[in-house]
Amino acid sequence: MSKLSTKHLLGIKELTADDIHLILSTAESFKEVINRPIKKVPSLRDITIANLFFENSTRTKLSFELAEKRLSADVVNFSSSSSSVKKGETLIDTVNNILAMKVDMVVMRHPNPGAAVFLSKHIDAKIINAGDGAHEHPTQALLDAFSIKEKLGSIRGKKIVIVGDVLHSRVALSNIFCLLKLGAEVMVCGPTTLIPKYISSLGVKVEHNLRKALEWCDVANMLRIQLERQEIKYFPSIREYTMLFGLNKQLLDSLSKKIVIMHPGPINRGVEITSDVADSDQSIILEQVENGVAVRMAVLFLLAGRA
């Protein structure tokens, strides 16, 4: 198989396992490319890509832009905080104005769940969801899967626990879809108030005791508490959250086996994870960031139909 079954990347839910395997194997080739002295290839020459960020981002924005430039695409960047959105322009008007400038692909981050799907129904360009509210963050899940496979050799049969604010996390939902499609076992762990009631219907285990979850897993993906999406208090205090669900070195070293530690970033050091864990030799947090560029190159290349 050399083509994706989909025109857009709106979420992992819409991808087949074959699509995911194709993206991961294409990313392996691009990882070789970006480690060469000459890191640029002409694969997306004459393709114009608009990066539309209606919500803050460090990793995803930089990573997409770097991936596009490594593929020789023409890139335009848009940030809502410095745009006419502030004057009341709608999403469709903003995007139609950008498309009038002959854009082929749109990478969009937006605070509203479903924004990428909405856009895909109204414009002709190919859409890549770079995170839509608490819904999906497909390229994060793909780079996480790539990083697990790189570290452990395979994903099938591996046990992955996602710890923390699952309720508000697009990373959690995309990871659950992706890892289950690839044959992993998935558990979520956190306070009852931050674990959605429907979650076990997706086929994941639920555990509220962090030590038990860590003893079960091969990989722990530690999520950030998303205070910006919380309108009410979901736990008494950050201090109590950290005591019950924060990962520190003493807990990590007391486990019966060496597990792999992941975090999608941005990290709240000292809250969900301490610095000595984030920076330990069990952490692959910076490998995740490095792999993000290769994975996004693969997604852009495959959706552009240049395979």
Give the C-alpha distances (Å, rounded to integers) separating 41 from 38, 156, 223.
8, 32, 34
Evaluate whether 187 touches 159 at the Cβ level (below 8 Å). yes
Q: In this chain, which stretch among 33-41, 58-66, 188-196, 203-211 interacts with ligand CP, using CB under 6 A?
A: 58-66
**3-class DSSP state of 87:** helix
Of 152 and 289, CB closest to ligand CP: 289
Q: In this chain, which stretch among 67-75, 150-158, 258-266, 275-283 interacts with ligand CP, using CB under 6 A?
A: 258-266
Of 137 and 158, CB closest to ligand CP: 137
Give the phi and the psi of residue 69 in degrees, each rounded to 5.
-70, -35
Pairing of strands 159-163, 126-132: unpaired
Q: What Rg do the C-alpha atoms of the chain give, in angstroms?
A: 19
Figure out which of the listed residues 43, 60, 169, 226 binds ligand CP, where binding follows CB under 6 A.
Answer: 60
CA-to-CA distance for 11 and 14, rounded, in angstroms?
6
How many helices (H) and strands (E) are present in the chain, helices listed first?
11, 9
Q: How far is CA 140 from the centre of its chain?
A: 2
Beta partners for residue 48, in sequence order = 74
Q: In this chain, which stretch among 8-16, 51-59, 214-222, 230-238 interacts with ligand CP, using CB under 6 A?
A: 51-59
Question: Is 59 an interacting residue with respect to ligand CP (CB under 6 A)?
Answer: yes
CA-to-CA distance for 214 and 117, rounded, in angstroms?
36
DSSP H or E stretch at residue 61: helix 59-70
Of 44 and 172, CB closest to ligand CP: 172
CA-to-CA distance for 160 and 176, rounded, in angstroms?
9
Q: How many Cα atoms sit within 13 Å of 107 on the Cβ side?
A: 31
Question: Is 265 an interacting residue with respect to ligand CP (CB under 6 A)?
Answer: yes
Of 134 and 185, CB closest to ligand CP: 134
Figure out which of the listed residues 157, 203, 266, 305 binds ligand CP, where binding follows CB under 6 A.
Answer: 266
Of 137 and 296, CB closest to ligand CP: 137
Of 206 and 289, CB closest to ligand CP: 289
Q: In this chain, which stretch among 68-76, 148-156, 251-259, 260-268 interacts with ligand CP, using CB under 6 A?
A: 260-268
Distance of closest approach, residue 65 Cβ to ligand CP, in angstroms: 11
Which residues in 269-281 are b (16+ Cβ under 10 Å) and which e?
A: eebbbbeebbeee
Question: Is 138 an interacting residue with respect to ligand CP (CB under 6 A)?
Answer: no
Question: Is 140 an interacting residue with respect to ligand CP (CB under 6 A)?
Answer: yes
Question: Is 175 an interacting residue with respect to ligand CP (CB under 6 A)?
Answer: no
Figure out which of the listed residues 103, 245, 264, 293 binds ligand CP, where binding follows CB under 6 A.
Answer: 264
Distance of closest approach, residue 107 Cβ to ligand CP, in angstroms: 11
Question: Is 57 an interacting residue with respect to ligand CP (CB under 6 A)?
Answer: yes
For ligand CP, how many residues bind (rule: CB under 6 A)?
A: 10
Distance of closest approach, residue 27 Cβ to ligand CP, in angstroms: 17
Of 51 and 120, CB closest to ligand CP: 51
Per DSSP, 128 falls in state E
Distance of closest approach, residue 166 Cβ to ligand CP, in angstroms: 15
CA-to-CA distance for 288 and 145, rounded, in angstroms?
9
Evaluate whether 208 touches 227 at the Cβ level (below 8 Å). no
Question: Is 81 an interacting residue with respect to ligand CP (CB under 6 A)?
Answer: no
Binding residues vs ligand CP (CB under 6 A): 57-60, 131, 137, 140, 264-266
